Amino acid sequence: MKPKALKSGDKVAIIAPASAIKKENIKTTETAVRSLDLEPIFYPSCYMREGHLAGPDRQRSKDVNDAFKNDDIKGIFCIRGGYGTPRILNMIDYDYIKNNPKIFLGYSDITGLHLAFNNLCEMPTLHGPMPSSESPYHNTDIYTLNSLKNNLFRNEPLGRYIPPEKEELEIISSGECTGEIIGGNLSLLTVGLGTKYQINTKGKIIFIEEVNELNYIIDRMLTSLDLNNKFKECSGIILGTWKNCKADKGANDKKDSSLYKIFSDILGKYDIPIVNNFRAGHIYPQFTIPLGTKVYLNADKKEIVFLESINK
């Protein structure tokens, strides 16, 4: 069930399904969305705070449901990530959303909703920059902006991935495959394990990224996915960026294994294509990924081709 592409002047809902934002970021967010020639409609969660969350669970989930059920709203932008989406997954009206798809944008903690929408609603979603104060909407780099616009306003496949300058893909394991791309933030991929919201990897290409974690913790989370056969069932893996992820000193002042060794040990044992340094996640410039669409991956040629548009 594909959403319709946005067009100039469309109203888009701004929601906060995870962490709260600072009040001064409301104005910068409005400016950001209007710079795309879209009209932002702020939902109550954007103005609320309850501890580390943008209001109580019932309000944040209500905003998600209300945004999908409002016919005037043509797209939904999450204002930021942080933490909170796993707490509202049982409160979303998936039956309605499945039959009424809309553009849905966010990343990081929003991975929880991406997985639910991709799996339960069979609706593709956008893993891309959010209109908060740190967004490139305000200090625009052309690469990020063009990638976002191509997903929001067009109904044509993105085609071959062209990385930002000096950010070449790294080969972890050889091979080629075609499959639906799914995934997101590693922490959120592990949260849903054992539930109906867990990532479904059978025959698919997994995208994984993380931020601010020690290498051994990344090892632990990847191992959790491995123990649940998530890599055994998939067709290929695209590893993203690992901002501020680093080795920690352990016993006898010896450092953790490198990320390359961790990837090779845990993922490389499977006969599937794997690449690293796909520029999406907690960095800029970043590429907006149409999750839930078909992709071709050739690790030996360092080639990724997006074969399907998110929009109808």
**Catalytic machinery residues:** 108, 209, 282
Site of tokens 């409160």: 91
Q: HSE (CB half, 13 Å, CA atoms) of 212?
A: 3
Residue type, 274: I
Site of tokens 């991956």: 297
Q: Is 70 within 8 Å of 96 (Cβ atoms)?
A: no
SS3 label, residue 47: helix
The helix (H) or strand (E) run that includes residue 268 is none
The span from the CA of 237 to the CA of 71, in Å, is: 37
b/e code 226-237 from CB counts within 10 Å (16+ = b): bebebbeebbbb
The span from the CA of 65 to the CA of 6, in Å, is: 19
State the DSSP code for 106: E
Strand ranges in the chain using DSSP code E only, listed in sequence order: 11-15, 39-42, 73-78, 103-106, 125-127, 159-160, 170-173, 176-185, 205-211, 236-243, 274-276, 289-291, 294-298, 303-306
The number of angstroms, rounded, from the C-alpha of 252 to the middle of its chain's C-alpha atoms is 38
φ, ψ for residue 289 (rounded to 5)?
-100, 125
Q: HSE (CB half, 13 Å, CA atoms) of 39?
A: 7
User: What token pair was written down for 236?
Assistant: 């290929």
